[in-house]
Structure 1
Amino acid sequence: MKVTSFLTLLIVLLSQTIMACPVCEKQQPKITQGLTHGAGPQSNWDWVIIAVITVIAVLTLIYSVKYLIKPGEKNTQHIKQSILSN
């Protein structure tokens, strides 16, 4: 019960800090309004940087899930075998 209450409180508090304030919302382009604080991207290079970072983050997520689900290690002496056999 304590963990559930703590997580609920944490989510409520974080949701308020993540959302942009009204002043920041006016400075943001339409695509990022309400998501971030501060001024929006100032040039096209900023959008290129955001796109590259997004691609890297998505690829990292895909590969981490892929290797978590099916790591492909078949060696019986691999350390994961000692964990999986217990």
Structure 2
Amino acid sequence: MKKQISFWAIMILMSSSAWACPVCERNQPKLLRGWTHGAGPDGGFDYFIVIAMVIIAVISLILTLRWIIRPGEKNTHHIKRYILNQEGYESEK
């Protein structure tokens, strides 16, 4: 229990340092105020790049979770079946 409390305390402290300071917040565009440090995007193309990265990351996350939860390899000749059967065969000897 003590380890969990320490872990969450560290995570909260680390996340609070990620928020923007007052100077950075003032220099950011309205859309990103208070979220990050440094200068904001310079133009419309920068927003396009960020939006494209977010879309790719979300799609990757969804597909990763989908294939981890339900792999869908039901074919009896799949390579995984060969490896599993081979290991079982060797352990019976």
TM-score interval, normalised by the smaller of the two chains: 0.7 to 0.9
Aligned match of 2:82? 77
Unaligned runs of 5+ in 1: none
User: Matched residues in 2 for 1:77 and 1:65: separation?
Assistant: 25
User: Matched residues in 2 for 1:47 and 1:64: separation?
Assistant: 26
Offset at residue 68 of structure 1 (A): 1.1
Offset at residue 77 of structure 1 (A): 3.2
Identity of aligned residues (%): 40
Larger Rg, first or second structure (1 or 2): 2
SS in 2 for 1:18: coil
* Cα offsets for 1:18-70 (capped at 9, x unmatched): 11111111111111111111011001110111011111111111101111111
Aligned match of 2:25? 25
Q: TM-score, length-normalised on structure 2? A: 0.75
Unaligned runs of 5+ in 2: 88-93
Q: TM-score, length-normalised on structure 1? A: 0.81
User: Matched residues in 1 for 2:30 and 2:17: separation?
Assistant: 20
Q: Tell me how many residue pairs correspond in the alignment.
A: 80
